[in-house]
Amino acid sequence: MSKQNPQLDTQGNLKHFLTIEGLSRDLLTEILDQAEGFLGVAQQAVKKVPLCRGKVVANLFFETSTRTRTTFELAAKRLSADVLNLNISTSATAKGETLLDTLRNLEAMHVDMFVVRHATSGAAHFIAAHAHPHVSVINAGDGRHAHPTQAMLDMFTIRRHKQDLSRLRVAIVGDIMHSRVARSQILALKTLGVPEVRVIAPGTLMPNSIEESFGVRAYHDLREGVRDVDVVIMLRIQRERMNSALLPSEHEYFQLFGLTEERLSTAQPDALVMHPGPINRGVEMDSQVADGPRSVILEQVSNGIAVRMAVMSMCIGTQNLKIQPAGDADG
Task: Point out the annotated binding site.
Answer: 67-68, 95, 117, 147, 150, 180, 236, 277-278
- The conformational region for residue 317 under phi > 0 = left, psi -120 to 50 = alpha, else beta, is left
Distance CA 287, CA 285 (A): 7
Known binding residues for carbamoyl phosphate are: 67-68, 117, 147, 150, 277-278
Burial class of 186 by CB neighbour count within 10 A (0 to 12, 13 to 18, 19+): buried
Which residue among the candidates 3, 10, 90, 95 is catalytic per the annotation?
A: 95
Which residue among the candidates 145, 147, 159, 160 is catalytic per the annotation?
A: 147
Known binding residues for L-aspartate are: 95, 180, 236
Distance CA 136, CA 16 (A): 5
User: In what order do the strands lie in the sheet containing 113-118?
Assistant: 82-87, 56-61, 113-118, 136-142
Which residue among the candidates 15, 16, 69, 117 is catalytic per the annotation?
A: 117
Nearest-5° Cα angle at 171, 304 to 297: 30
Is 167 annotated in the active site?
A: no
Is 29 annotated in the active site?
A: no
Helix axes 297-315, 25-38, angle to 10 degrees: 110
Residues 154 and 188: beta-carbon distance below 8 Å: yes
The residues, ordered by sequence, that sit 6+ positions from 292 with a Cβ below 8 Å of its Cβ are 261, 273
Is 67 annotated in the active site?
A: yes
Give the CA radius of gyration of the chain. Answer: 20
CA distances from 255 to 45, 125, 202, 267 (A): 47, 39, 12, 18
Mark out the alpha helices in 163-249 (DSSP H runs).
180-191, 210-214, 222-225, 239-243
Is 16 annotated in the active site?
A: no
Is 68 annotated in the active site?
A: yes
Catalytic residue set: 67-68, 95, 117, 147
